[in-house]
Each structure stands twice: as C-alpha cells, then as structure tokens.
Amino acid sequence: MATENKTQPTTASVKAFIDAQPAQRQADCRALSALMRRVSGKRAVMWGESMVGFGRYYYRYKSGHEGIYFRCGFSPRKNDLTIYVMPQVKQYAAFLKKLGPHKHSVSCLYIKRVSDIDMDVLEALLSEAFLDMARLYPNEKKPIKKG
C-alpha cells in the first residue's frame, strides 16, 4: 500500500519563515534562497514546517513507493544550515574539496554559515546536481497513463 510522504509542499510563506530566523540565519537563508532561485529558475516553496525547496520531481521506486519532492532546497537547523543536494552529495566530490568547511551525509550538505564556504563552488555544485536531477527524473508531476 502506497503511503504519502510526510514532507509535502505547503502554502506557508517562505519570507515569513526566513524572517522568523535569528539575524545571521536570515542573511544566510536569503543568500541560499537567491542562489537556488538562480540555479533552478523556480520560486521558493515551503515543504513541511522547516524546509525551503525549489523545483520538484516525481519518483517511483521498484518497490512501488512514489512521490513528489523538491529538486534542491535548504533548512536552517539548530546547529547547521542543511542544504539538500539531490541525487546524492558524494558524486560531487570535486566540488566538495573546494567548497570550504562542511559535513555531508547521503543527500545533505551541512555548513555553519554561508560566509564559511565558497558560494561560487556551491552554485556550480547545485547547478550540476539540478541538471542531473532533470535527466534522472524529468517529470515534475505524476505522469498520466494513457489508454
């Protein structure tokens, strides 16, 4: 039985969410938002209560699980800024070497502050990841079956 993703796009205000952050986080969120808007060509949308996403893609796994998720995004967490890099961070190792101080997991890149990293490198990384996602997952919505 298919289950709906816990994290869904909402109509909540991205501006209000960013404005509610501490001053330094606001500045960092605005910088990330502008960069991701440039890279994606899409407007920011709140996903759940704390993620800002850009673009979307439809996926369906062999198990039958399917859903919609954002192509790139970020979230200001308590200890770090989390940058969501789809499909996976590790395939962008050449960029990571030049980025500056960070940590990463499968699809998450963790930084303390935007000023700590090379934003040109982050933009190049996200641009490549966004194009990769467009090739891997070309549909933004669930395809309609014909006939």
- CB–CB of 81/99 below 8 Å? no
Record the tokens describing residue 41, joined without a space: 């060509």
pTM, to two decimals = 0.92
- Tell me the pLDDT of the chain (147 aa) as tens digits: 456 678 899 999 999 999 999 999 999 999 999 999 999 999 999 999 999 999 999 988 888 888 899 999 999 999 999 999 998 999 999 999 999 999 999 999 999 999 999 999 999 999 999 999 999 999 888 877 665
Please report the beta strands in 8-145, taking only residues with DSSP state E, as ranges in sequence order. 44-47, 51-54, 57-60, 66-69, 72-76, 81-85, 103-104, 108-111
Q: Extract the tokens encoding 56.
A: 């979307």
Q: Which residues contact 6 (CB under 8 A, 6 or more apart)?
A: 48
Start-to-end Cα distance in the chain: 24
SS (H, E, C) 27-42: HHHHHHHHHHHHHHCC
pLDDT of residue 1: 41
Q: What angle do CA 103, 106, 111 make, to 5 degrees?
A: 25
Q: Which domains does the chain have, with CATH numbers?
A: 14-136 (3.90.1150)
Q: What is the pLDDT of residue 51?
A: 98
CA–CA separation, 69 and 88 (whole Å): 14
For 138, how many CA atoms within 13 A lie in the half-sphere containing its CB?
Answer: 2
Q: What is the DSSP letter of 91?
A: G
